[in-house]
Structure 1
Amino acid sequence: MKFDLPQTPAVQVSGKSFRLAQVDPDDITPFVYGADDKREASPRLLVLRQRLSDLQELLYAEHKRSVLLVFQAMDTGGKDGAIQNLMSGVNPAGVHVSAFKAPSTNELSHDFLWRVHAQTPKRGHIGVFNRSHYEDVLITRVHGLIEEKIWKQRYEDINNFEALLTNSGTVVLKFFLHISKAEQAERLQARLDNPTKHWKFDPNDIKERKLWPAYQQAYEDAMRHCSPAHAPWFVVPANQKWARDLAITEIVVAALEAMNPQPPKATFDVAAQVVE
């Protein structure tokens, strides 16, 4: 679905000329409001949250189409926080969040999209993927768990899968939360320094951090090959969490406004109803 992209720091991936390194993780343009950009952006975010809530209610009532939001990022990239912020004002009855971790034995016995397809949103709902089917062209590639010909074939499989969702009435929006390696180091250290955040720290993150260049290349290739107009990727500069949240909310609201969901017409004679 095409819609007018609002002015945000996010970059929509278009074509194989895209280069991830050209996107500045610290960029907050055009969210430069004055002496305190974060504080002065707050009223706009509140307005967007209310608009998102209203649009979600209409989408739920219409019960004809759905929205799938895909979130990917490097470790500490902020997926949990971004999802929490975006969904903070919506009715949870119309939202389904799926977090994809290492596949189970049963899931590995099926094709790589089997477990993902089962979590796609039903009509009237917003589905959120915290990690997604893209893990199967990222971690599997970086760690050599599959051959090159397989992960290259999966680009086509993913495109076909997302086309199926689109043709079935699901609007697909994909967000890569782009942080710098230095920012990741600060966030990892912050988890170590705060005993209440130790549960969020995984020693394996240190090992994965050493593979930063390989992951950046894998993300870039995946986005270059799997960002058609009907299921676009948006690279969101995410070093500044407030700007990240505002950018994502702007894009989701713009997409829902373009969908223009309408509530169903009454199936009864409204004028004849009397409430005593």
Structure 2
Amino acid sequence: MPRNKIIGNKIIDSISAYVDPFRVTNGANFRLKDQNPGDTLGLKLDKAEARELLEKGAEWLAKEQEILYAQDRYSVLILFQAMDAAGKDGTIKHVMARVNPQGCGVFSFKQPSAEELAHDFMWRYAAHVPARGRIGIFNRSYYEEVLVVRVHEALLEKQKLPPERVGKRIWDQRLSDIAHFEDYWTRQGVIVLKFFLNLSPEEQKRRFMERLDNPDKNWKFSAADIRERRHWDAYMHAYEEAIRATATKAAPWYVVPADNKWFTRLVVAAAIVEAVEKLDLAYPTLSKAEMSELALARSELEAQS
């Protein structure tokens, strides 16, 4: 085995130690209450140490993204789901800090427009699945259709479904539809990584209070945050059902502890790097004809005064 391949395997094994405990590939026995939002796997790092590790991960991901773009075969779809104040925006900012913006797109899905409501529930999301060679990030995603819409069923009425299509099994049906979409995408070369940032209600309250107490953070707070917090148990049930129904080896969920932001970002970075590393990417090899063209181009340039 080539030396660089051996080194790569060792690195992946090292990273996996921080990823495996939070990866869900079979949701049959998954229970959200078994997950600890404050878990750090016993790691104790100060901010400087955590920042240095994250910086290394971001640099590594940037290099892999360049090869991903050059190879033009795979794409990576990264989904973030969480309760308010769990740190989705900050995680995306820090983990993807070094990635070339030309090869990466971030999409946030707000309340659907009239045009979007006139289509099936996956329509507006499918249009943004990344092209080959690119990384796409969904800051909230099509899972909102089985989370917020499930918790607030009045939203379902706005989707103008035929009445006979809205039955007791609609959420199971939607989860099945999502799983089939993801299975299809993975067979087309899309690497699907799904992150649920698992925040405790106690830590959410602390972060909300911080936003209220700090004038510079007041803009982050919305009265809607409190209204959604009242439905905490319903959301946890919806998340658990979604993870149980759609966690697969090809499109895994990562239930990442979110009470410590530094640890959340490290796990997310490690999971993305691990997934891309396993693709065993390489820069394209040029054909003899293409190499001849390069040689001619070199000769012409060298001949110019």
Deviates more, 1:166-175 or 1:44-53: 44-53
Deviation at 1:236, TM superposition (A): 0.3
CA 1:38–1:85: 2 relative to 1, 3 Å = same
Q: Is the aligned partner of 1:19 residue 2:31?
A: yes
> Are 2:243 and 1:232 equivalent residues in the alignment?
no
Q: How far is the alpha carbon of 1:8 from its aligned partner?
A: 1.8
Quick check: 1:71–1:175 contact (8 Å CA) kept in 2? yes
Q: Are the counterparts in 2 of residues 95 and 127 from structure 1 also a CA contact under 8 Å?
A: yes
Equivalent in the alignment of 1:130: 139
- Cα deviation for residue 119 of structure 1 reads 0.7
1:6 to 7, 13, 16: 16
**Superimposed CA distance per residue, residues 31-88 of structure 1 (whole angstroms, 9 cap, x where no aligned partner):** 33xxx44433333222221111100000001111100000000011111111111110
Shift of 1:203: 0.3
C-alpha distance in structure 2 between counterparts of 1:45 and 1:79, whole Å = 16
Who is 2:89 aligned against? 80
- Which one-letter code corresponds to 1:23 in the other structure? Q
How far apart are the structure 2 equivalents of 1:118 and 1:238?
A: 30
* Pairing 1:234-273 to 2, within 5 Å after superposition: 234-266=254-286, 267-269=290-292, 270-272=294-296, 273=298
The C-alpha deviation readout for 1:228-256, integer Å capped at 9, x for no partner, is: 11000000001100010011001100111
Q: Name the structure 2 match of 1:177.
A: 197
The 5 A counterparts of 1:97-176 are: 97-145=106-154, 146=156, 148-176=168-196
Report the alpha carbon displacement of residue 143 of structure 1 after superposing the two structures with TM.
1.3
Structure 1: any 5+ residue segments left out of the alignment?
none
Q: CA deviation at 1:195?
A: 2.1
Quick one: distance in 1 between partners of 2:143 and 2:54? 29
The one-character-per-residue Cα deviations of 1:169-211 (angstroms, maximum 9, x if unpaired) are 1000000001100111111111112222222211011111010
Establish whether residue 212 from structure 1 lines up as the match of residue 232 from structure 2: yes
* Residue aligned with 2:73, SS: coil
Identity of aligned residues (%): 45
Q: Distance in 2 between matches of 1:150 and 1:233?
A: 22
In the other structure, the counterpart of 2:162 is none
Displacement of 1:271 in angstroms is 4.7
Would you identify which runs of 4 or more consecutive aligned residues in structure 1 move more than 6 Å? none
The structure whose residues are more often helix, as a share, is 2
Letter in 2 for 1:120: V
CA distance in 2, matches of 1:15, 1:226: 7
Q: 2:79 aligns to what?
A: 70
Question: What's the counterpart of residue 50 of structure 1?
Answer: 59
Give the conservation status (yes or no) of the 8 Å contact 1:178–1:237.
Answer: yes
Aligned AA for 2:175?
A: Y
Q: Is contact 1:7–1:30 with CA below 8 Å preserved after alignment? A: no
Q: Deviations over 1:150-170 (max 9, x none)?
A: 111001100111011101110
TM-score by length of 1: 0.93
The residue identity in structure 2 corresponding to 1:238 is A
Contact 2:57–2:95, Cα closer than 8 Å, also in 1 = no
Letter in 2 for 1:61: A
Q: What letter matches 1:45 in structure 2?
A: L
Counterpart residue identity of residue 198, structure 2: H
Query: Which sits farther off after the overlay, 36-45 or 124-133?
Result: 36-45
Q: Which of residues 37, 41, 53 in structure 2 aligns to 1:29?
A: 41
Preserved CA contact (<8 Å) 1:97 1:127? yes
The one-letter code of the counterpart of 1:11 is: F
Moved more, 85-94 or 143-152: 143-152
